[in-house]
Every structure is written in structure tokens, then in C-alpha cells.
Structure 1
């Protein structure tokens, strides 16, 4: 019993000596807990200003909390003199990070690209974008991918890494779209007069923006006619922008055709017809 009591007394003395360190380590954990919560809230407030979904915002908030709190655990272990355990945690975490990095390289790349896009914000929900031949309106933005709906109703999920590393076209960022079409008139017609007539008509059309102003240019010569190209701008209707631009373009093309015809301009109507001629073998018999 004497030996047992001596051992108990020894360990109790050791415990009393460690009490200040234990209290300091516990205080450190409490401080890092509140620091982690504050960091999580701050980061979530920043991400709330981005187009990311609430699930992604919550995920990154928890990730920030875990990172900050783990740092607090390592600091607390060092305060208690458990440097070996702290070093083991860091080493294990580093090895795990390397293994996961190689195993999920593509997924990690997309998450990182989505993280950078959260701050650069090259587009938002409802924008019409195009990348690598995929063109459509943005439906939803996630960290790993962006949901795009094309004009023919196809839902495409584009990886974030592609959006940040490949050329990206945003057709609605400044709220303006430019359209154009080409019409041909006869070589004997006055091109300056034709351009002036078309421009006057464009200036009176309420659907055509006047800043930037519409223009008409001579853009080519063909064997049968002179090419005039009409350029015009419209203010984007986000909900129906593709249909809106196509509708206005079709209307302007028909209006321009009628306008030039009413002003006695001539359109080319020359048609070349290809005829296949097959050889016909005829045998002539002399009956004389």
C-alpha cells in the first residue's frame, strides 16, 4: 500500500504541475474555437455575395472552421509538451493531402477553379455564355461545375476548370448584343443612296439601339451583285435574348428588302443551271 500511495502522490504532484499548462491549453482551444467560428462566418458572408449555392457556401464554411480548429489543437498539444504527437498529426495530414491530391486531382482542380471564379465572377445566373462550342444560358453555378441550358433545351454541366482555363464568351455582361446581315444590290445601283436609306430606317426602329449607332458598309463584290452588310445593336432581353436577337434580325432583313425594292433597287436573279448531257450512240444502216 505504501508503494501504491507513493505512486499516487507522485502522479498527483505531476498533475498539479501540469494544471497551468492544461488550463492554458484549454483556453487556447476555446480561443481557436471562437476564432474558427468567426472565420467561418466571415467567409460565408463573402461567399454569399457570389452566385454559388448555399450548400457550397456551407461546405466551405465548415472547411474553414475545421482548418482553424485543427491549428488550435496542434498549438494546444505543443503547450502541453506533446510535440511528438503534434508533429505526427502534421506529418499524417501532409501525407494524406498528397495522396488525396493525386487520387482526386481533377476534382480538386475543379474545386480550386470554382473558388477563384467565386471572386472573379465572369458571369452570373441568366447570362448567355459560350465555351468550347457549348453555348447557352447559365442556370446554376456550383464549385465543381456550371449548369448551362442550350438553345435546343439540352442541359450541359461544364467543369469549372474548363471555364477558367479555356476562352469564355459572355454575350450579356454589358447588356448589349450586335447583329448583322448581308444584302446584295445590282452594280448599276447607287450604293451610297442604298446605305443612306437603310440607315434612316434603322434610326426610326425602336428595337435598334442608337448607341452604338447602326452602320451599313460595302463588304464585298460578287460576280452578280455588290454586298452591303448591315450592323446593328440591341439591348439584351435576358429572358429571351437569343429569340429576341433572331426575331429583330429577321424583321430588319425583311424590312430592308422591301425598302430597297420600293426604292427601285435591283436584286440579282441570275441563275446558273447545270445540265448533264449523256452521249447517245446511234447506228445508221445503209439500205441502198
Structure 2
């Protein structure tokens, strides 16, 4: 019984081996062609990856983004070649299973590393859109400084206080971002107050003429002074001027020089920049003015004093009668 079972077992194995051999010989040309297809696609992927990398490095400022995109393109070409080769030898079900598995794995990775993936996608998008470049001065999410490094996941910004801030790319991609380097100019606004006794038009003319003599001010025809409000002690004005930014004269130095120039010009024109002054006036809406109140009080005190003097000079009636007796 055992010999018969062994013979059946070996017979089954021989049949399977023979079937596989026949199938392999039958599909041998297809296998050779599939291998050649895979080799051709590998060569094409290498060439496409190298060309794409060179083009993207010239196009994009971030070397990391360029390398990542070129690698993604290279992998896509390789996977296409592998799927074509598998389909050529009749393994369509394998191709479908691989695609489904790749989709499930990608979905799982996306959920597991959602924050990292979002920063990565934002970094790639910003590398293509180029909202800013290395060396630009930007402001976003209360961070104001110069861009030092642009990575795939974050951007390194050096603030004007000398600190390095690491900003996730998704924050720069989602929120409002101000790039001060794009236009190359910036407006400075300086508030100044003059006394109510001075003419705002004369003050504006004096300030504009003095500022336009400064070399760092550009667009001199747009240097202007506007009235803002009536303050407690002064007529408040706003001075607008334009400078190159960033330029040889920094923002802080330009504003300091402009402020000093305004002060000197107003002093030379005998226009007062007043200190805080408080005036008490009770004459509004039926009230009584302070000087009138003081005048009335002085008159009352003067009358009281005159009455007291009169009474002191009048002789006592009893003393007068005693003298008469």
C-alpha cells in the first residue's frame, strides 16, 4: 500500500513538473520579451530622471524638491514598465493586485503621517509656485525676517532679532504671507503733531520739501502729508514717504533720519510740536467758562473783604453811649 501511494505521489510531482516545464517553454519568448521591456523601461526611467532632475534644478530654487520630483517621475516610469511586462506575460491579475495593494498602502501612510504629508505637499507646491525665494524678507504668522533655507517640510527664517524660526510649510501655504522683497519698495508712515496755532498746510509743505532733499527717498512726487485727527494737544498729521526695500539705507535708519529731518524742519519754520496740554473750559453747552467763574469768585471775595473792613471801622454803640454819659 505504501509503495503504491509513493508511486502516485511521485507521479503527481512529475506531472506538475512536466506541466510547468511545458508552460515555461511555451511562455519563454514572452518572458524574454517582458525582461527586455523591463530593461528598456529601466533605461528610459534613468534617462528621464536625469533630464528631469537637471531641468527642475534650474527651474526650482530648492534642490531637495527638484530631486524628489525627479525621483517620483523615475519611479513612475519604472512601475509602468513593470506593469507592462507583467501584463505581457499574462499576469493581469497580479498587476491589478499590485495596484490595489499600492493604493491601500498609500492611503494608510497618508493617514498615519498626515501632518508630514501635508507639509511635504505644501513644500512641493511652494517650490513650483515660488511665493518667495532664499534671501527674501517675508512676514507670516507673526514671524518677520529673512528666508535662509527652504526644505521639503519647513522653511527656516532668520528674524531681525537674530533668532532662527522654523515654520512648517503648511502654515506658509495656508495663511496670508507678505513678501516685502517682491516689489522692492516700501512705504514709511510717520505720525507728527503740530499746535492748533499753526497752519497744517504750511507744515505739510515744509515737511515735504525737507524730506525730498533726502537721497534715500524715492518716488518723491508721492511724498505727502495728510491730516489724521484733532488730538487733545495737537493737530495730528501722517507723513508718507517711499524707500527702496531692502536697500542700502535700512528701514530703521531711513525712518530715524526722516523723523529727525521733520523735527528740524518744523523747528526752523517756527512750527511747534506741542507737549501735552490740558485746558479746563466749562463754557460748553450752557456751562460757565473758567475765567468767568474765577472773576465771580474774586468779586465775591472782594465784596466780603470790603464788608469786613466797614464793620471793623464802625464804632461800637455801647462805647459811644458810655462816652456820652
- State whether TM-score is above 0.5: yes
- Which residue does 1:107 correspond to in 2? 116
Q: Could you list the per-position Cα deviations for residues 124-160 of structure 1 after superposition, in whole angstroms to 9, with x for gaps in the alignment?
A: 1111111111111100101111100111111111111
The whole-number CA distance in structure 1 between the counterparts of 2:111 and 2:134 is: 32
Question: How far 1:251 sits from its partner (Å)?
Answer: 0.9
Tell me if the contact between 1:203 and 1:210 (Cα under 8 Å) persists in the aligned partners: no
The answer (yes or no) to whether the contact 1:140–1:146 under 8 Å persists in 2 is: yes
Unaligned runs of 5+ in 2: 1-10, 279-325
Q: CA deviation at 1:187?
A: 1.1
Judged with a 3 Å threshold, the aligned counterparts in structure 2 of structure 1 residues 7 and 160 are, in CA distance, closer, same or farther, namely: closer
Of residues 192, 195, 207 in structure 1, which corresponds to 2:201?
192
1:152-211 deviation digits (Å, cap 9, x = unpaired)? 111111111111111111111111111111111111111111111111122221100126
In structure 1, what is the Cα distance between the partners aligned to 2:121 and 2:16? 55
What is the aligned partner in structure 2 of residue 168 from structure 1? 177
Q: 1:23 to 1:37 in 2, by over 3 A?
A: same
Q: CA contact under 8 A between 1:77 and 1:83: conserved in structure 2?
A: yes
CA–CA distance in structure 2, aligned partners of residues 160 and 212 of structure 1: 40
Which of these two proteins has the greater Rg computed from alpha carbons?
A: 2
The CA distance in 2 between the partners of 1:33 and 1:100, in whole Å, is: 26
1:83 Cα offset (Å): 2.0
Distance 1:206 1:179 in 2: 15
Question: What TM-score, normalized to structure 2?
Answer: 0.75
What CA deviation, in whole Å up to 9, does each residue of 1:6-26 have, x standing for no partner?
987765553343233123212
8 A contact 1:47–1:118 mirrored in 2: no
* Number of positions where the alignment pairs a residue of Structure 1 with one of Structure 2: 266
Cα distance in 1 for partners of 2:276, 2:228 equals 20
**Aligned mate of 2:61, from 51, 56, 66:** 51
The equivalent of 2:267 in structure 1 is: 261
SS at match of 2:218: coil
**Paired residue for 1:85?**
94
Distance 1:264 1:92 in 2: 83
DSSP-derived class of the 1:220 partner: strand
- Return closer, same or farther for 1:227/1:6 CA change in 2, 3 Å cut-off: closer
Structure 1's consecutive aligned runs of 4 or more residues displaced over 3 angstroms after TM superposition are 3-16
Unaligned runs of 5+ residues in structure 1 are 273-288
Distance across 1 between alignment mates of 2:277 and 2:205 = 29
2:215 matched to which residue of 1?
206
What SS does structure 2 have at the residue aligned with 1:23?
helix
Distance in 2 between residues matched to 1:6 and 1:266, nearest whole Å = 113
- Distance in 2 of aligned mates of 1:261 and 1:208: 21
| Range with greater deviation from structure 2 (24-33 or 56-65) | 56-65
- 1:255 positional shift: 1.1
Contact 2:186 2:245 in 1 (8 A): yes
User: Which residue of 64, 85, 91 corresponds with 2:73?
Assistant: 64
Question: CA-atom RMSD, angstroms?
Answer: 2.3
Distance 1:134 1:212 in 2: 33
> Which residue of structure 2 lines up, in the alignment, with residue 126 of structure 1?
135
Q: Give me the whole-angstrom Cα distance separating, in 2, the residues matched to 1:5 and 1:96.
A: 40
CA gap 1:211/1:60 in 2 versus in 1, 3 angstroms: farther
1:65-87 CA-partner distances (Å, limit 9, x unpaired): 12221221111111111222222
The answer on 1:39 being equivalent to 2:55 is no
Q: TM-score, normalised by structure 1?
A: 0.84
* Distance in 2 between residues matched to 1:157 and 1:168, nearest whole Å: 15
